Structures are given as structure tokens and as C-alpha cells.
Amino acid sequence: MARVRQATNAPTALQTEQARIIGLATQDRSIDTVQAAAIDRVMSNIADAQGGLERISNTPLPRHFDHFPLFFVIAYCVLLPVGMVGELGSFTPLGATFLGLIFLALDRIGRDLESPFANTEHDVPVSSITRTIEIDLRQMLGEENVPKPLVPVRNVLW
């Protein structure tokens, strides 16, 4: 854990440590070559997925992707009552407010999707995914004492 904590990229350091442990387990025959090959395939897939996820997470969005949608939503919400007054009459404030809130909610959803790994309730449940992978790997090694899958906390799966 000390080497992992010192590393700039903790997930890569974890994978390196896991590869070292698997190599040692293969050398002392704790696992056979078939098991080592299966674990190696899984580890390679994890490394590929990690690289893709890091590219997604580290790709900055241009500032105008953040400002322009909000500007256009606000402009739409301001102009919306003008377009609705002929149809809704005195119910225009209600209709405009309802539709405006829908567009503001859609803008908020878009902002949440900009950072899928920020560990908020609207993000990809990375902890649950990694726990599932851990369970699978431990079972492949023949361990019987594997952790339980994560369960939602207040209807949110982390």
C-alpha cells in the first residue's frame, strides 16, 4: 500500500502490484499457468478499460460547452412566455414556469454527464463495478471468503 499511496497514478500502481503478486503466485505454484493466464486476460481488459476511462475523465470540455447551453436555456425561458401568451392566456406563467423548469433540469443533467466519475449520485457506479470485478477475480483464484456486492445506499449505487 505504501508504493500505491506514493504513486501519481494509483490505479496503475495497483495493477502493477497485482501483476507482481500474480507473478510471485505463479512462481511459487500457488496458482497454475491456466489460472495465471485467465487472470492476465482480465487484468489486460481492466488496463484497457482504465485507459479509456482516464481519457474520458481527463478530456477537458471547452468553456463554451458550459456557458452557451445555459445562456440559451435562460434566453429561451425568458422569451417563452411571449410565445405562449396567445395560447395559454392567464395560464402563461404556469406553462412557462413548467417548461422552463424542464429545460433547466435538462441543462443540469447535461452538466452531471460532463463528469461521469466525480463520485456523485448521478455518476457511473465505479465502486460497485470494481467490487464486482474483485469478486470475480477472487472466485477465479478459488477463494471462498469473497466480499459481498455493494448495495444501494438511499437508492444510489456507488
Residue 53 lies in a domain: yes
Cα–Cα dist 90/86, whole Å: 9
Residue 158 lies in a domain: no
Indicate whether 137 pLDDT > 90: no
In this prediction, residue 8 carries a pLDDT of: 82
Is the same domain home to 72 and 110?
yes
Residue 139 lies in a domain: no
In this prediction, residue 147 carries a pLDDT of: 92
Q: Which pLDDT tens digit goes with each residue over 79-120?
A: 989 988 888 899 999 999 999 999 999 888 888 877 777 778
Residue 78 lies in a domain: yes
Indicate whether 121 pLDDT > 90: no
Is the same domain home to 49 and 69?
no
Is the same domain home to 73 and 102?
yes
| Whole-prediction pTM | 0.51
Is the same domain home to 38 and 80?
no
Is the same domain home to 89 and 40?
no
Cα–Cα dist 118/153, whole Å: 17
Is the same domain home to 43 and 5?
yes
* Among the listed residues 44, 1, 49, the one whose alpha carbon sits nearest the alpha carbon of residue 19: 44
Residue 150 lies in a domain: no
In this prediction, residue 97 carries a pLDDT of: 92
Where are any strands of DSSP class E within the chain? none
Residue 155 lies in a domain: no
Residue 18 lies in a domain: yes
Q: Give the number of residues written for the chain.
A: 158
- Mean pLDDT for the stretch of residues 59-70: 78
In the chain, the number of structural domains is 2
Cα–Cα dist 38/16, whole Å: 17
Segments forming the whole domain that contains residue 4: 1-59
Which of 37, 59, 81 terminates a domain? The answer is 59
Q: Which pLDDT tens digit goes with each residue over 21-44?
A: 888 999 998 888 888 888 889 889
Indicate whether 3 pLDDT > 80: no
Q: What is the mean pLDDT of the chain?
A: 86
